[in-house]
Structure 1
Amino acid sequence: MLSSRATLACRSNVIFISKHASTTPDVKSKLIQPPNPNKITSDMVGPPDPVSNLRRIIFRKPAKETSLERKYRKLRSEVQEWNQVFWTQHNSRFFKEREAYLKSNLPEGKSNLTADEMSIFYKAFLDKNWRTHLDYNKEWYKKNVALLLLALEVKFRKLFRIKEK
């Protein structure tokens, strides 16, 4: 059950939660429209995706959003989508390959393999996908450094009340 300071919003059977507003638990069944980024008071976070295990975020759009803030919000959304695509593909591959491994290595009459028996598959999967993970991590760091620098610029401009050019 949600605390009294939570807000729900539904998007394609996905519930988004905001920690800054109040609601009652029965609101969940009444909300069917995705939240409007122009009207929400804070970023809204959804439940974990069943395949990627990532939580989707709807980023709040401030009323007087500057072009720099808009650039930052859009970049955050793009990075979130890039991450979502990568982990959906990766985890789909993992589940498919794990299922195939289980079918070919599961002795008759057994329903599961032991952790030691499965470790062979996990190591092989990680070894096979080592380059993909390395490339993902490099790109992830680049994207997050870019986000960090943009976030710092937005904060400094707000802090020192610097107007846009």
Structure 2
Amino acid sequence: MLSNRINKACRLRMIVSRHTSTTPDAKSIQTPNPSKISSDMIGPPDPVSNLRTIIFRRPSNETNLEEKYRKLRTEVQDWNHKFWTQHNSRFFKERETYLKENLPDGKTNLTADEMSVFYKAFLDKNWKTHLNYNIEWYKKNLMLLGLAIQVKIKKLFRTKQTK
């Protein structure tokens, strides 16, 4: 199971690398067609959000429930990607500002102890955002879990009926 996912990720990475120039540009990446792939495909990590985009397979005989589940998975993935892109962008920007204001002359970086002051301040400032994100994340995942269970049960009964 895990080796299948790793193989899929490698295949997507090869597809992506074949369609990119020597300087990766998001616009030059050709995304595989979801109705022509044999399974979900996992892409390389996004440079800002650090999340891997998943291209969800769209089977030709997809039921309305399966389509609803696939679309909700895509929406949750997009929501998650947007949150972490904004969060990480804000983090990098604030870290850069902190370094400019606190870096003594002649030094190229701060120690881990010196940076811990920034990290704590950033986490304290954003605790409410993280709390709201976690609450929403759990809600969305429970919705996905409910749909996934429904899809599996329907598939189970569908295969038993065809035998």
Aligned pairs, how many?
147
Aligned to 2:46: 49
Of Structure 1 and Structure 2, which has the larger fraction of its residues in strand? 1
Q: CA deviation at 1:33?
A: 3.2
One-letter identity of the residue aligned with 1:62: P
Where 2:77 maps in the other structure, the secondary structure is helix
For the 8 Å contact 1:9–1:34, the answer to whether it is kept is no
1:36-61 per-position Cα deviation (integer Å, ceiling 9, x unaligned): 10000011111110000000011000
Q: CA deviation at 1:160?
A: 1.6
Where 1:45 maps in the other structure, the secondary structure is strand
4+ runs deviating over 3 angstroms: 8-11, 30-33
Q: CA deviation at 1:6?
A: 4.8
In structure 2, how many angstroms separate the alpha carbons of the residues matched to 1:87 and 1:30? 26
Q: What TM-score does the superposition give when structure 2 sets the normalisation length?
A: 0.83
Give runs of aligned pairs for residues 79-118 of structure 1, distance below 5 A. 79-118=76-115
Give runs of aligned pairs for residues 23-38 of structure 1, distance below 5 A. 28-29=17-18, 33-38=30-35
- Gapped regions of structure 1 (runs ≥ 5): 16-27
One-letter identity of the residue aligned with 2:107: K
Aligned to 2:11: 7
Match of 1:75 among 55, 72, 76: 72
Give runs of aligned pairs for residues 145-156 of structure 1, distance below 5 A. 145-156=142-153
Aligned to 1:22: none
For the 8 Å contact 1:52–1:91, the answer to whether it is kept is yes
Greater relative contact order: 1 or 2 (C-alpha under 8 angstroms, separation 6 or more)? 2
For the 8 Å contact 1:47–1:56, the answer to whether it is kept is yes
- Gapped regions of structure 2 (runs ≥ 5): 1-5, 21-28
Question: Does 2:61 correspond to 1:64?
Answer: yes
Over 3 Å counting, the alpha-carbon distance change for 1:48 and 1:9 in structure 2 is closer
Q: CA deviation at 1:10?
A: 7.5
Identity over the aligned pairs, expressed in percent? 70
Q: What TM-score does the superposition give when structure 1 sets the normalisation length?
A: 0.82
1:48-84 per-position Cα deviation (integer Å, ceiling 9, x unaligned): 1000000001100011000000000000000000000
In structure 1, how many angstroms separate the alpha carbons of the residues matched to 2:45 and 2:19? 21
